[in-house]
């Protein structure tokens, strides 16, 4: 009977690389066991066939950032559960090699309310988390808001600059009509949750809200309920 050994040890024997390089090959999705990719260096094997993908490079696996088109009605846990291999956008242009580890330990530092839809970012990268939390006041967000009701006189100007809540003036933002019942909001230093009371203050009722953009990352053609990788060249 063949003695069971860790996959990393078998890769060392197969390639003559160091143990750390063997772990990086495995964690990077470059190693197959009986034709199936295994990403766990501690995976125990016996007599199975182990192969290294041609062109493999032993580099550390980078943390992943994903963009999901969240449907309305999803709470944070429901939205996270939508991120599966089956719901990755077939037209994802990022060229990122998918790994199982990319779908683990994902956080959403800039959550969307359950009744809102649109762009939602999940990440493993502490740099992205910091940017979307500590530095969010420097990042412009864009929402389209479906409304009904009759705008009070000078209401659009008030939305752009003039409303006060709790004795504090709201920051200047950019609000314009997209159609007869849709407003476009582009803002910094504002919480999306403040859009609804702002609209109510000028005679409008919010029916739906959709996030179209966070910084330089657009929702674009990403279908509802699907996700894509943020490409290494993309910056928020």
Hey, is 39 helix, strand or coil?
coil
Confidence of residue 59 (pLDDT cuts 50, 70, 90): confident
236 strand-pairing partners:
none
- Average pLDDT (120-134) is 96
SS (H, E, C) 93-147: CCCCCCCHHHHCCCECCCCCCCCEEEEEEEECCHHHHHHCCCCHHHCCEEEEEEE
Which domains are delineated in the chain? 5-52 (3.10.290.10), 65-136+217-229 (3.30.70.580), 140-214 (3.30.70.1560)
Asked if pLDDT for residue 62 goes beyond 90, the answer is no
Q: pTM for the full model?
A: 0.86
- Helix residue spans in 120-225 (DSSP H): 126-131, 155-160, 195-201
Decide if pLDDT at 1 tops 60: no
Of the candidates 97, 88, 95, which has an alpha carbon nearest to the alpha carbon of residue 66?
Answer: 88
Task: Give percent of the chain above pLDDT 90.
Answer: 75
Query: Is 136 a residue whose pLDDT tops 80?
Result: yes
Least confident of 32-46, 112-126, 131-145, 171-185: 32-46
Average pLDDT, the chain: 93
Instruction: Kindly tell me if the per-residue pLDDT of 166 is higher than 80.
Output: no
- Dist. CA 131–CA 128, nearest whole Å: 5
**pLDDT for 78-92, tens place per residue?**
999 999 999 999 999
Per-residue pLDDT averaged across 45-73, rounded? 91
When mean pLDDT is compared across 56-65, 143-152, 171-180, 183-192, the lowest value belongs to: 56-65
- Using an 8 Å Cβ cutoff, are 35 and 50 in contact? no
Q: Where are the beta strands (DSSP E) in 27-80?
A: 31-33, 36-37, 44-45, 50-52, 65-70
The stretch 16-42 carries a mean pLDDT of 90
pLDDT at 2 over 70: no
Q: What is the pLDDT of residues 211-235, one digit of tens each?
A: 999 999 999 999 999 999 999 999 9
- pLDDT of the residue at 3: 81
């Amino acid at each position: 009977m063949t003695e069971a050994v860790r996959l990393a040890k078998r890769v060392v024997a197969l390639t003559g690389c160091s143990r750390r390089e063997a772990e990086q090959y495995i964690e990077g999705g470059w190693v197959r066991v009986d034709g199936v990719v295994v990403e766990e260096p501690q995976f125990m094997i016996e007599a199975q066939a182990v192969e290294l993908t041609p062109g493999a490079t032993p580099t550390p696996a980078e943390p992943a950032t994903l963009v999901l088109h969240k449907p309305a009605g999803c709470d944070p846990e429901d939205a996270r559960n939508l991120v599966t291999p089956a719901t990755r956008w077939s037209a994802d242009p990022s060229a990122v090699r998918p790994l199982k580890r990319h779908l683990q330990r994902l956080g959403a530092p800039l959550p969307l309310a359950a009744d809102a839809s649109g762009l939602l970012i999940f990440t493993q990268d502490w740099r992205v988390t910091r940017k979307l939390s500590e530095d969010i006041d420097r990042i412009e967000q864009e929402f389209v808001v479906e409304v009904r009701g009759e705008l009070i006189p000078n209401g659009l100007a008030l939305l752009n600059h003039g409303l006060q809540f709790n004795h504090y003036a709201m920051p200047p933002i950019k609000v314009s009509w997209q159609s007869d019942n849709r407003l476009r909001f582009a803002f910094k230093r504002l919480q999306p949750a403040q859009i609804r009371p702002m609209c109510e203050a000028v005679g409008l009722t919010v029916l739906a809200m959709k996030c179209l953009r966070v910084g330089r990352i657009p929702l674009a053609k990403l279908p509802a309920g699907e996700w894509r990788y943020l490409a290494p060249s993309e910056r928020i």
